[in-house]
């Protein structure tokens, strides 16, 4: 089963995405913010990280920078999760090493399809 670390500060969305991914046979660990996520990463090695852009205790950009500067963590692919329609933020994340993004208004199938595609393409390489 693919393993996902979902970093989302809104509890209701975190719970919703966890239920969706569990139903699609993903193993999901969650974190409410960047600090929490760093603790989770000490014991859980995901196949992919789904990272909210706007959150406390390291926003998504700050957390992505921490990941990409850590030799043990930088190879984990990161998909940004955002409600923002502002392309500048998304582009900045992609420039920093994120492999893609999902908007919070995506359908369940779009989210799962995107994650499956990313995990499969990573497995091939």
Q: What are 42-99's pLDDT values in tens digits? A: 999 999 999 998 888 888 999 999 999 999 999 999 999 887 666 778 888 899 999 8
Q: What is the per-residue pLDDT for 7? A: 96
Instruction: Give domain 3-120's CATH architecture.
Output: 3-Layer(aba) Sandwich (3.40)
Per-residue pLDDT at 24: 86
- Please check the confidence at residue 124 and state whether its pLDDT lies above 50: no
* Dist CA 10 CA 123 (whole Å): 30
Counting residues of the chain whose pLDDT is more than 90, the rounded percentage is 54
Task: Kindly write down the DSSP assignment for every residue of 13-68, as one continuous string.
Answer: HHHHHHHHHHHTT-EEEEESSHHHHHHHHTT---SEEEEESS-SSS-HHHHHHHHH
Burial, 75: exposed, middle or buried (Cβ in 10 Å; 0-12, 13-18, 19+)? exposed
Question: Is the pLDDT reported for residue 125 higher than 50?
Answer: no
Give the pLDDT of residue 29: 97
d(CA 109, CA 97): 24
pTM (2 decimals)? 0.90
Backbone φ and ψ for 58, nearest 5 degrees, come out as: 85, 110
């Amino acid at each position: 089963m693919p393993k996902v670390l979902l970093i989302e500060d809104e509890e209701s969305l975190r719970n919703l995405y966890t239920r969706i991914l569990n139903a699609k046979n993903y193993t999901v660990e969650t974190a409410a913010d960047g600090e929490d996520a760093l603790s989770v990463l000490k014991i859980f090695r995901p196949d992919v990280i789904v990272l909210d852009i706007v959150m406390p205790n390291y926003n998504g950009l700050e957390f992505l920078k921490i990941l990409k500067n850590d030799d043990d963590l930088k190879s984990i692919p990161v998909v940004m999760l955002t409600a923002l329609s502002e392309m500048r933020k998304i582009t900045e994340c992609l420039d920093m090493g994120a492999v893609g993004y999902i908007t919070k208004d995506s359908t369940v199938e779009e989210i799962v399809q995107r994650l499956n595609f990313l995990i499969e393409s990573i497995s091939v390489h």
